[in-house]
Chains A and B, each alone.
Chain A
């Protein structure tokens, strides 16, 4: 084959390869469960512009392990995505935003909520006051996923899993415990998630606070909280909580690992302790003891 012909074949391969970039991520559960828990946060992805530093940060603090997806991931995606494993379970992913071609810092944890009919759920977003940032897209064995901005401006994702959602279980230490929306309009946000996902809600009076704590429920199962944004002037955001044994012990190591303490460990009026930290890319994550007492 001449060089000229080789070049023509090469160009054809490149076009075909790039046109066929279908990221084929593994399912969020390694064994098919067939269970679907509408409204449950089933996955969290860290978008970061400092993937190496982020892996070191979370690996050192929480003992997380990282692995590249198998070779079935789409061309070009393999280098951009890392799976997070803790206590043998897959608990999330890391997306290298530089590989996404993002120059600006969009580092953040993206909360992914399970729905049973993603087309229907996404179809309700605009009427509920939100916007569709990325329409439902197949990500291979994982299912169909869409990225949404809610009616108050918080970004989250919805997924209709192919092989089922992870079953509910007692949260592991250094694993996910809870998810909470910090918003500037609790009622507007609640209405949005009720319309799009189908939540019910209850309000709980917490001593020593000037507002109720709102819990989004699905069939009486608490799935997430909604809180007036504690940081005045900041955009609404979904915040993910990790169960830790001693928040102070974690925060003591945050800065040496390139992170930042945003809220020091504090006692909660209802019991236990919380803290709020940011990793090397600036994406925040909360720490909480559990159970309350």
Chain B
């Protein structure tokens, strides 16, 4: 009885471990190379409140 319980717990632990390790496999590798040096972000952090002094573009036809 004790042995079965130990086996069952061990199996559950292994499954949990498997799931967490699989989840750590690297996803969309194609974006893995996009690093900080490339960050232009379109984010412009710290530049908020720029008002209307800046003219952006947009579709013309």
Q: Contact residues of A with B, CB < 8 Å?
A: 3, 6-7, 10, 13-14, 17-18, 21, 23, 45, 47, 74-77, 79-81, 95-97, 99-102, 104-110, 133-134, 137, 139, 145-147, 149, 153-155, 157, 177-178, 180, 182, 204, 206, 209, 213, 215, 222, 225, 227, 230-231, 234-239, 241, 260-264, 266, 268, 270, 272, 274, 276, 278, 281-286, 288, 290, 292
Contacts and interface: CB of A to CB of B under 8 A. Distances in A.
A100 B36 CA distance: 13
A204 B26 CA distance: 45
A47 B31 contact: yes
Contacts of B2: none
Nearest to A210: B55
B22 A155 contact: no
B43 A263 contact: no
Contacts of A288: 58-59
The SS class assigned to the B binding surface is loop
25 contacts: A6-B10, A14-B21, A18-B25, A21-B26, A23-B28, A47-B31, A75-B22, A76-B25, A76-B26, A106-B36, A107-B41, A133-B34, A153-B38, A178-B59, A209-B55, A230-B55, A235-B39, A237-B41, A266-B56, A274-B57, A282-B43, A282-B44, A283-B41, A284-B41, A288-B58
Given A3-B10, A6-B14, A139 B41 contact: no
